[in-house]
Amino acid sequence: MGQKKDLTGSEKSKIVRYLAEGCSSLKIAKLLKRDHRTIKRFIQNSQQGRKKRVEKPRRKITAHELRKVKRAAAKMPLATSLAIFQSCNITGVPKSTRCAILRDMAKVRKAERRPPLNKTHKLKRQDWAKKYLKTDFSKVLWTDEMRVSLDGPDGWARGWIGKGQRAPVPLRRQQGGGGVLVWAGIIKGELVGPFRVEDGVKLNSQSYCKFLEDTFFKQWYRKKSASFKKNMIFMQDNAPSHASKYSTAWLARKGIKEEKLMTWPPCSPDLNPIENLWSIIKCEIYKEGKQYTSLNSVWEAVVAAARNVDGEQIKTLTESMDGRLLSVLAKKGGYIGR
């Protein structure tokens, strides 16, 4: 006699439903046209539940060693359990035991992507939202720089953080280090750029203004109509090269001043829609763990990815500004989700 088929997922679901309705195992067997013993065996196995995990005894650590581990965890945020125990000269402890001990005094955290906002930051973000609440954001040019590397974005470190401690904010540099620095802007449904900053150039006030002159103004802005230029509002963040007196005066000579130059609150990348564009581009150029062998190849990938971003996607980002401002006010200046 051939072996009977096991219960299917559908049959198991029906058994549970019939039991909930008060049917007996015999009636369920008749309804499903299956052997009564098969139904009874399934019900019995389901009622037994999972066996409890037997905790293995930990290696005993002295109170003195525990105090050393606690101090080391506080001094070495985001360190691995092995590094923490090695710094205390405690060897021969398996990973499971190290982690079990650390769970009593710390927790695993990722480094925070955004610095914490203080009271002043939150007030300035609220004031900014109130100031521009009635602005026609289709006339705002949102700009920013992005650095791309050959191997993709640096992974956010994970490690043990003592209870009550904040995860440290990693150093994030706009200038310096390997990679290509890219500048771009978005307005309504249009992408401006991207433009590549010359390799080896550090963006100070003078080089930033020269870069804008050679790229943004000569290749895009001067082709626009007088009425467009009259109504356009230029947005840039508060990077030193952007907000310096030199850069502000230079932009003023170009006609971008007063209400045409948007003020920007501190610590507010979440309010700039072009940050979402950078995420789209990075996801595309680094998909499936893609790596590059030269700066030119990663730049070509950025250009190709930018061309694949259609106008509707950009329009969706720029039209999100009304909602972002309302969210800032609702959160009393706090960060909004992106």
pLDDT per residue of the chain (338 residues) written in tens, 0 to 9: 445 678 888 888 888 888 878 888 899 999 998 999 888 888 888 766 555 566 666 667 888 999 999 999 888 887 888 889 999 999 888 888 888 889 888 887 766 667 789 999 999 999 999 999 999 999 999 999 999 988 776 544 456 777 777 766 644 444 444 689 999 999 999 999 999 999 889 999 999 999 999 999 999 999 999 999 999 999 999 999 999 999 999 999 999 999 999 999 999 999 999 999 999 999 999 887 788 888 999 999 999 999 999 999 999 999 999 999 999 999 999 998 75
Residue that is written with structure tokens 């509002």 in the block: 233
Q: Which amino acid is at 182?
A: V
User: SS3 letters for the chain?
Assistant: CCCCCCCCHHHHHHHHHHHHCCCCHHHHHHHHCCCHHHHHHHHHHHHHCCCCCCCCCCCCCCHHHHHHHHHHHHHCCCECHHHHHHHCCCCCCCHHHHHHHHHCCEEEEECCCCCCCCHHHHHHHHHHHHHCCCCCHHHEEEEEEEEECCCCCCCCCEEEEECCCCCCCCCCCCCCCCCEEEEEEEECCEEEEEEECCCCCCCCHHHHHHHHHHHHHHHCHHHCCHHHHHHCEEECCCCHHHHCHHHHHHHHHCCCCHHHECCCCCCCHHHCCHHHHHHHHHHHHCHHHCCCCCHHHHHHHHHHHHHCCCHHHHHHHHCCHHHHHHHHHHCCCCCCCC
The token pair at 24 is: 């007996």
Q: Which amino acid is at 298?
A: V
pLDDT of 268? 93
pLDDT of 168? 64
pLDDT of 121? 95
d(Cα 72, Cα 209) in Å, to the nearest integer?
47
Q: CB under 8 Å to 231, separation ≥6 — which residues?
A: 139
pLDDT of 176? 41
Largest CA distance in the chain: 94
d(Cα 186, Cα 200) in Å, to the nearest integer?
26
The separation between CA 225 and the C-alpha centre of its own chain, rounded to angstroms, equals 38
pTM of the full predicted structure? 0.65
pLDDT of 173? 40
